[in-house]
C-alpha cells in the first residue's frame, strides 16, 4: 500500500492528528443562522408533505413542481451555459427541454427522499432493475476492498442504497448540504445502514480507517474540487478530486462504476460495471491522473446518453 495522498487529502490527515482530543463534532458544526432555520422549516414542510403521499405520487408532484418553477430561476442560466459548452450540437429548444427535464428529475429526487427506506433494490420485480451485480459478487468473494463511484445522475442515492442492502460494510463520502438542518434531514432519510462521511478535514482519515478494516466506500465523483487535479471532462479541463484514485491505488481496491438511470417515474436501472484497470507506472501522481481520466470519461458517457438526468447546476468548469 504505497503512494502519497494528494494535496487535498494529506493535510486533512495531519489536521486530524493534531486536533485537541476534547473537541467534539458539535463544536465543529457550522452555526445555524436565522436563514438556515427558515430554509429548514420550509424543507421540513415539503419533506413532510411528500412523505404523506405514496412514493409514485410524491415523485410525480415533486417533478411537476420543479419543472414548473426551476427553469424560471436565475440558477438555470448556469445550466444553460454548461450544456451549451459541453453539448454544442444541441439546438436551443433541445437545451431548454434538457433543463426542464433536469428540474423534473431534481424535484423527483427531493420528493423521493422521505421514501428511500421503502425502496428495495434487489426485490424481484421491484422498482430497481439491476445488472452487473456479479462484479460485486466476485470482488467480495475474493476479499477485495471496493470503491463504488457514481455521479449526480437520476436518483444518485440508489447506488449507496444498493451497497447497504447488498449486505457489505460500506461508508459513503458525500458533500454535506450547505444548510446543516437540511443536511440532518437528508442524513436521516438515508438511514443507518452505512457510515456517512462528509467531505472535509477529517474525511481522509475516516476513509482510510474504513479501508484498513476491510470495508468499502461509495462516492459521487462528478463534483468540482478547487484544489483537485486538472482532468479532461467534455473536452475541457475540470478540477477533479483525486481522492478516489489515491485511495484505490494505496489500498489496491476494485473500482466499480455504478450507473443509475431513471426509467420513468420512481423506477430505476442500476448497472454495475467491471472494475477499472489500476495504472501502475510507478509515478503516483501520473497514475492518479490517469485513473481519474478514466472515471471522468465514464461519467461523461453516461451524461451524454441521458443529459436530462444530470445535475447541470454544478460549477464543474472554470467560468
pLDDT of the residue at 21: 34
In DSSP terms, 281 is beta-bridged to: none
- Residue 275: pLDDT above 90? yes
Q: Can you give the pTM of this predicted structure?
A: 0.87
**Can you read off the three cell numbers belonging to residue 230?**
486538472
pLDDT of the residue at 126: 95
Average pLDDT, whole number, for the chain? Answer: 89
SS3 (DSSP) at 248: helix
> HSE-up of 30 (CA within 13 Å, CB side)?
16
- Residue 14: pLDDT above 70? no
- Residue 13: pLDDT above 80? no
- What is the phi/psi pair of residue 177, to 5°? -60, 150
Query: Where do runs of H (alpha helix) occur along the chain?
Result: 10-18, 25-28, 34-52, 55-69, 76-86, 92-112, 133-141, 157-166, 180-190, 203-212, 243-251, 284-305
| CA-wise closest residue to 275 among 261, 293, 291 | 291
Spatial CB neighbours of 296, under 8 Å, sequence gap ≥ 6: 221, 231, 232, 233, 238, 240
- Residue 48: pLDDT above 50? yes
- Residue 134: pLDDT above 50? yes
pLDDT of the residue at 30: 60
pLDDT of the residue at 29: 57
Model confidence pLDDT, tens digit, residues 140-182: 999 999 999 999 999 999 999 999 999 999 999 988 888 889 9
Q: Among 22-31, 202-211, 288-297, where is mean pLDDT lowest?
A: 22-31
Confidence of residue 62 (pLDDT cuts 50, 70, 90): very high
Confidence of residue 90 (pLDDT cuts 50, 70, 90): very high
pLDDT of the residue at 27: 36
What's the rounded mean pLDDT across residues 120-137?
97
More reliable by pLDDT, 226 or 304? 304
Query: Where do runs of H (alpha helix) occur along 192-283?
Result: 203-212, 243-251
- Residue 26: pLDDT above 50? no
pLDDT of the residue at 31: 77
What's the rounded mean pLDDT across residues 30-52?
90
Residue 217 DSSP label:
E
- Residue 271: pLDDT above 80? yes
pLDDT of the residue at 85: 95
Asked if 10 and 21 count as a contact pair (C-beta separation under 8 A), the reply is no
Report helix, strand and coil shares of the chain as percent, to nearest 5: 50, 20, 30
- How many other CB atoms are there within 10 angstroms of residue 319's CB atom? 5
What's the rounded mean pLDDT across residues 273-295?
96
Model confidence pLDDT, tens digit, residues 198-255: 887 788 899 999 999 999 999 999 988 888 899 999 999 999 999 999 999 999 999 9
pLDDT of the residue at 224: 87
In DSSP terms, 239 is beta-bridged to: 230
**Domain spans of the chain?**
34-309
More reliable by pLDDT, 152 or 9? 152
Amino acid at each position: 500500500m504505497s503512494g502519497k495522498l494528494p494535496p487535498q487529502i494529506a493535510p486533512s490527515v495531519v489536521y486530524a492528528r493534531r486536533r485537541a482530543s476534547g473537541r467534539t463534532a458539535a463544536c465543529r458544526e457550522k452555526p445555524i443562522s436565522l436563514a438556515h432555520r427558515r430554509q429548514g422549516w420550509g424543507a421540513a414542510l415539503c419533506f413532510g408533505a411528500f412523505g404523506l403521499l405514496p412514493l409514485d405520487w410524491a415523485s410525480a408532484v415533486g417533478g411537476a413542481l420543479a419543472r414548473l418553477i426551476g427553469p424560471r430561476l436565475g440558477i438555470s442560466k448556469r445550466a444553460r451555459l454548461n450544456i451549451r459548452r459541453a453539448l454544442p450540437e444541441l439546438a436551443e429548444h433541445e437545451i431548454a427541454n434538457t433543463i426542464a427535464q433536469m428540474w423534473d428529475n431534481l424535484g423527483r429526487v427531493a420528493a423521493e427522499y422521505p421514501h428511500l427506506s421503502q425502496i428495495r433494490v434487489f426485490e424481484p420485480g421491484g422498482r430497481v432493475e439491476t445488472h452487473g451485480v456479479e462484479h460485486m459478487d466476485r470482488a467480495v468473494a475474493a476479499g477485495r476492498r471496493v470503491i463504488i463511484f457514481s455521479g449526480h445522475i437520476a436518483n444518485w442515492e440508489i447506488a449507496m442504497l444498493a451497497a447497504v442492502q447488498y449486505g457489505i460494510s460500506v461508508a459513503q463520502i458525500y458533500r454535506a448540504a450547505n444548510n446543516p438542518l437540511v443536511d440532518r434531514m437528508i442524513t436521516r432519510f438515508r438511514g443507518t445502514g452505512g457510515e456517512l462521511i462528509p467531505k472535509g478535514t477529517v474525511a481522509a482519515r475516516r476513509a482510510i480507517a474504513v479501508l484498513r478494516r476491510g470495508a468499502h466506500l461509495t462516492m459521487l465523483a462528478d463534483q468540482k474540487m478547487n484544489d483537485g487535479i486538472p482532468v479532461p471532462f467534455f473536452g475541457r479541463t475540470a478540477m477533479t478530486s483525486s481522492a478516489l484514485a489515491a485511495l484505490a491505488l494505496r489500498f489496491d481496491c476494485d473500482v466499480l462504476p455504478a450507473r443509475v438511470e431513471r426509467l420513468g417515474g420512481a423506477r430505476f436501472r442500476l448497472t454495475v460495471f467491471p472494475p477499472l484497470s489500476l495504472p501502475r507506472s510507478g509515478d503516483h501522481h501520473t497514475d492518479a491522473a490517469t485513473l481519474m481520466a478514466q472515471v471522468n470519461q465514464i461519467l461523461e458517457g453516461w451524461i451524454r446518453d441521458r443529459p436530462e438526468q444530470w445535475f447541470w447546476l454544478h460549477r464543474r468548469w472554470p467560468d
